[in-house]
Chain A
């Protein structure tokens, strides 16, 4: 059974750096074809794809946010970390981590999401 859960601050100040951790179980990022990604959703708005890491260390970022995003993994802990620099109020959103499969790219398991508010 695959599960994912996001953790991190619920409130950050403008210009600060956001660090979110995704802790997952039921699969390993050492296994061929496995991937973990981040998607966000501002309140009342659509989903936005942010970044994705595959088992072979293939890292993919949204071009519009690439300069601000970094994804890293701790395979031993089954964790993946998203770092987003220079946070702005427009970055207020629910941030989801999710399991994805190489090939189709389908996102078949999602974390519950964590709401991050950017405000001074």
Chain B
């Protein structure tokens, strides 16, 4: 299985801050990375696919970058509704493994 190492596991930030979450894969996977947001008790929501493509309906303050083994999710100007847990996922090979999640909390 391809391992997804996501960091940090949690962070505290304020409204308006710029937040960066990283995901490193155990082998090169081109751009086969997706990012999801999950709020408590609710199914995950797709934010970014193919490393940098913004899913329809997702605010433009979310962006993704990276290729190969290192990937980044950036939230510019954090909003109150962005406090949640974020997961990366690789879809280069089966199983489509997820990272361990990053919980973004209010500072």
Contacts and interface: CB of A to CB of B under 8 A. Distances in A.
Contact of A46 (B94, B95, B98): B98
B43 A47 contact: no
B99 A110 contact: no
Interface residues of A, number: 23
Given A52-B96, A108-B46, A46 B91 contact: no
B101 A105 contact: no
A7 to B, nearest CB: 15
Contacts of B1: 63-64
Contacts, number: 65
Interface in A71-117: 96, 98, 104-108, 110-113
B69 interface: no
B55 A49 contact: no
Interface in B52-93: 55, 87, 89, 91
A60 B91 CA distance: 12
Given A107-B46, A108-B55, A112-B43, A46 B100 contact: yes
Contacts of B8: none
A52 B32 CA distance: 16
A57 interface: no
B22 to A, nearest CB: 16
Interface of B: 1, 32, 34, 36, 38, 43-46, 49-50, 55, 87, 89, 91, 94-101
Given A96-B43, A104-B49, 6 more contacts: A47-B44, A49-B89, A49-B97, A63-B1, A64-B1, A107-B34
Interface pairs A-B: 4 shortest CB-CB? A105-B91, A110-B43, A106-B49, A62-B95
Interface of A: 37, 46-50, 52, 60-64, 96, 98, 104-108, 110-113
